[in-house]
Structure 1
Amino acid sequence: MSLSLPPLTTPVRMIGGRRFDFAREIAVMAIVNRTPDSFYDGGRTYELDRAVESACTAAAAGADWVDIGGVPFSPDTPSVGESEELDRVLPVITETARRSNVVISVDTVRPEVARQAVLAGAAVINDTSGLHDHELAEVVAESGATLVITHSLAAPGQHLRRPRYDDIVTEVRQFLADRVNLAMALGVPEERIVIDPGHDLNKNTLHSLELTRRMDEIAVLGLPLLAAVSNKDFIGEATGLDKPDRLAPSIAAATICVWQGARILRMHDPAAATAAATMIETIAGFADPQYLRHNLD
């Protein structure tokens, strides 16, 4: 089976000064959590110098952009106020922008954080709330940044216990289509919107697996599709592996997502993800091999 990605309405985009052709390119988004209670690294990059170093190391490893977050998605973590969130993310943005030309994304649901993040050097606002606060779209519209719209039903910081869907893929696709239309009505042009089906966000493992195997039904919306599957609970429950051992199945899930239409991979290990993306692009014929030697002598 060849890789035949669904067509995009605007495949070529300028994001943070970088040109992306999502008709022939798989981008890697690295993750930098400046939180003491990150679900994956438990606060390894909470200190400012470590957060900046992680961002710059990811860029050096091939990541196209880094996603900086100051507030965990999980409602089970202590609440973080707006002022504290700004204190966490702004110095990382500023210093990363000074040291690297990597695209900087900020994971936030707050309009004021988004506004100040863009002023500090961020080019992408990654909203995991599905535009719960409409003002966020207005801020992005005024800023010129790119907006990631993620499927998520509960209000930020709230649980959705035992989520139920009649058809997870159909409902996620309709939700994203509606939110894209909302964002456009609030001034965000379509060419500055990315969509994310939100693996594990207000979903159980069976929901996330179904989304993964049917990502092409989301990709038909015609916007670059982000897959954030790295080390998530559905990976652990599918394989029985603890977080430190989930790299291989995370790469496998990400690859399936690409084959079903994803263009952007949000991953904890940027070096491994970049190598995987390069291999996928080469198999698909989007890129040439780095060199040819085998059986040619």
Structure 2
Amino acid sequence: MTGAPVPARAATLVLRGREVGGEAAAIMAIVNRTTDSFYSGARQADDVDALRAVERASTEGAQIVDVGGVRAGTGPEVTVEEEIRRTVPFVARVRAEFPDMLVSVDTWRAEVAREAVGAGADLVNDTWAGHDPHLVEVAGALGAGIVCSHTGGAVPRTDPFQVAYPLPHDAPDDADPRDGVVHDVLSTLAAAARRAVACGVPRESVLVDPTHDFGKSTWHSLHLLRSTGRLTGLGFPVLMALSRKDFVGETLDLPAEERLEGTLAATALAAWMGATVFRAHDVRATRRALDMTAAVRGDLPPARVVRGLG
């Protein structure tokens, strides 16, 4: 009798010639240059606090740091000029002071992406699914990677409301009715990834993100999580942004400050099914969960083995 087969890993991410997520999944640490992010532990508007967060993330095992200047949810307007002020000089400092750290900029605006990549960003994290059609063109022209995401058509900084994803008309009669969201995510991400490559982004530098919570109910996000293996089948490295999100909070009835355990459970499941990169607030805990999952998968050897051998 043999054990259950280990799910295949998604493709390895490559940014400016550097491979990310080989033996074990990689971590994208979160640094928000805001005062109103949903999780208070990720608010680093002060330069000193933000640089300390990058240093801590580097020490604890992150390969990428994701710098954002605008809260994803509803809130006061942040102009293009203000978003650039919050993010671009900081990207330049991170590039100068942490040369081994890959830098991502979390923005949906082409103007911000252009300035941030010019300052040294390696990746553009387009959380709002191509709302600005020129953003991916900037990534392609300047040699940066891109995150292709899915929001179900939601526009930036809006919350989902009565969202539904019916099955496609050609679905078989016995199809799982919950699969409507999976079909929509797969078709959207495949199309976005094709456009990114057509715009000049190297195929290996395209990340696909099902984007839990954005344009989705908690039922949708849970079903997408259990469908991770179908996402890896697209042939692109998969990004999972699960950290302390509302679908974890609603599932466990917990506020953002108490969602670490639920996040780590979701992280281990997605890593087992082959996701490549995890966007995380809690780098040390996530690194340990990912390394343990990789060891169980057989992708990473234990750090030491002495028990029963002496």
* Short-chain TM bin: over 0.9
Alignment partner, residue 107 of structure 1: 106
> What letter is aligned with 2:49?
R
Deviations 1:179-204 (A, max 9, x none): 11222232323222100000000111
Q: What pairs up with 1:99-248 in 2 under 5 angstroms? A: 99-100=97-98, 101-152=100-151, 153-166=153-166, 167-248=180-261
Distance 1:98 1:70 in 2: 19
Residue 131 of structure 1 aligns to a residue whose secondary structure is: coil
After TM superposition, the structure 1 stretch with the greater mean CA deviation from structure 2, 121-130 or 33-42, is 33-42
Residue 272 of structure 1 aligns to a residue whose secondary structure is: helix
Deviation at 1:120, TM superposition (A): 1.1
Deviations 1:227-266 (A, max 9, x none): 1111000101111122111111100001111122211111
Q: Does 1:286 align with 2:299?
A: yes
> What letter is aligned with 2:89?
P
> Which residue of 70, 76, 79 corresponds with 1:78?
76
Q: What pairs up with 1:6-25 in 2 under 5 angstroms? A: 6=9, 8=11, 11=12, 13-16=13-16, 18-20=18-20, 22=22, 24-25=23-24
Distance 1:218 1:286 in 2: 20
TM-score between both structures, scaled by the size of structure 1: 0.93
Aligned in 2, Cα 1:86/1:7: closer, same or farther, shift over 3 Å? closer
> What letter is aligned with 1:181?
R
Distance 1:107 1:21 in 2: 20
Distance 1:224 1:42 in 2: 28
Alignment partner, residue 90 of structure 1: 88
Distance 2:183 2:243 in 1: 23
Q: Is the 8 A contact 1:56 1:96 kept in 2?
A: no
Distance 1:159 1:263 in 2: 27
Aligned in 2, Cα 1:19/1:219: closer, same or farther, shift over 3 Å? closer
Distance 1:200 1:160 in 2: 8
Residue 221 of structure 1 aligns to a residue whose secondary structure is: coil
The RMSD of aligned alpha carbons is 1.6
Q: Is the 8 A contact 1:48 1:91 kept in 2?
A: no
Q: Is the 8 A contact 1:107 1:125 kept in 2?
A: yes
Aligned in 2, Cα 1:238/1:154: closer, same or farther, shift over 3 Å? same
Distance 1:130 1:290 in 2: 39
Distance 1:7 1:119 in 2: 29
Distance 1:261 1:181 in 2: 21
Structure 1 unaligned segments of length 5 or more: list them. Answer: none
Equivalences, count: 292
Deviation at 1:42, TM superposition (A): 6.7
TM-score between both structures, scaled by the size of structure 2: 0.90
Deviation at 1:289, TM superposition (A): 1.2
Deviations 1:144-196 (A, max 9, x none): 11101111121223444211111111111111111112222323232221000
Distance 1:273 1:238 in 2: 20
Residue 175 of structure 1 aligns to a residue whose secondary structure is: helix
Distance 1:53 1:214 in 2: 36
After TM superposition, the structure 1 stretch with the greater mean CA deviation from structure 2, 44-53 or 123-132, is 44-53
Residue 80 of structure 1 aligns to a residue whose secondary structure is: coil
Structure 2 unaligned segments of length 5 or more: list them. Answer: 167-179
> What letter is aligned with 1:82?
V
Distance 1:280 1:119 in 2: 36
Q: Is the 8 A contact 1:6 1:220 kept in 2?
A: no
> Which residue of 4, 14, 27 corresponds with 2:7?
4
Deviation at 1:6, TM superposition (A): 5.0
Q: Is the 8 A contact 2:239 2:277 kept in 1?
A: yes
> Which residue of 286, 289, 309 corresponds with 1:273?
286
> What letter is aligned with 1:15?
L
Identity %: 37
Alignment partner, residue 30 of structure 1: 29
> What letter is aligned with 1:85?
E
Q: Is the 8 A contact 1:36 1:42 kept in 2?
A: no
Q: Is the 8 A contact 2:32 2:67 kept in 1?
A: yes
Distance 2:187 2:230 in 1: 11
